[in-house]
Amino acid sequence: MTDVWRRVAAALLAVSLLACNGSVANSTPGAVPEVAATELPAEARATIEQIRTGGPFPYRRDGVVFGNFEERLPIKARGYYREYTVRTPGAKDRGARRIVAGKGGELYYTADHYNSFRRIKEP
């Protein structure tokens, strides 16, 4: 079996698992776990407040478009998401923590520079 056919077989297996199961582990785009805003670090709660009030923002890149290229958030049109820095005490740069805001008002937190996200539940 050639390498191409092995990849095709693996893709077909994944599709059939999805059809039987409804999901494939947590790899489904848009399947984002939740976290209460009160459980986030104080710096993240401060960033949420800045987002809700329109700033001012401490970093020049705050508010730029977040591309969602890895599709870890629900898939939306380009420009739907904006990213904001969450201060990291002791970091000499912006650090890895961010909040990504959707145009619909939803917020997502990442502590590992977009490798994983949790949707923020606000009261």
Region label for 106, one of left (φ > 0), alpha (ψ between -120 and 50) or beta (otherwise): beta
Could you tell me which of 104, 90, 108 has the C-alpha nearest to residue 47? 108
Tell me, yes or no, whether 10 and 51 share the same domain: no
Q: Is 99:108 a contact under the CB 8 Å cutoff?
A: yes
Instruction: Read off φ and ψ for residue 74, nearest 5 degrees.
Output: -55, 140
Task: Report, as an integer, the average pLDDT of 53-64.
Answer: 96
Kindly report the average pLDDT of the chain as a whole number.
83
**pLDDT value for 31:** 76
* Tokens coding 87: 């201060």
The active-site residue, picked from 34, 39, 113, 122, is 113
The active-site residue, picked from 71, 83, 106, 122, is 83
Tell me, yes or no, whether 22 and 45 share the same domain: no
106 is catalytic: no
Instruction: Read off φ and ψ for residue 42, nearest 5 degrees.
Output: -55, -35
Tell me, yes or no, whether 50 and 73 share the same domain: yes
* Tokens coding 113: 């520079």
pTM above the 0.95 mark?
no
Tell me, yes or no, whether 24 and 77 share the same domain: no
* Model confidence at 6: pLDDT above 80: no
**pLDDT (tens digit per residue) in 96-120:** 999 999 999 999 999 999 999 999 9
Tell me, yes or no, whether 16 and 43 share the same domain: no
Tell me, yes or no, whether 24 and 41 share the same domain: no
Tell me, yes or no, whether 11 and 58 share the same domain: no
For the chain, state the CA radius of gyration: 18
**pLDDT (tens digit per residue) in 12-31:** 444 343 333 333 333 454 57
User: pLDDT confidence of 44, banded at 50, 70, 90?
Assistant: very high
Q: Which domain holds residue 90?
A: 32-121
83 is catalytic: yes
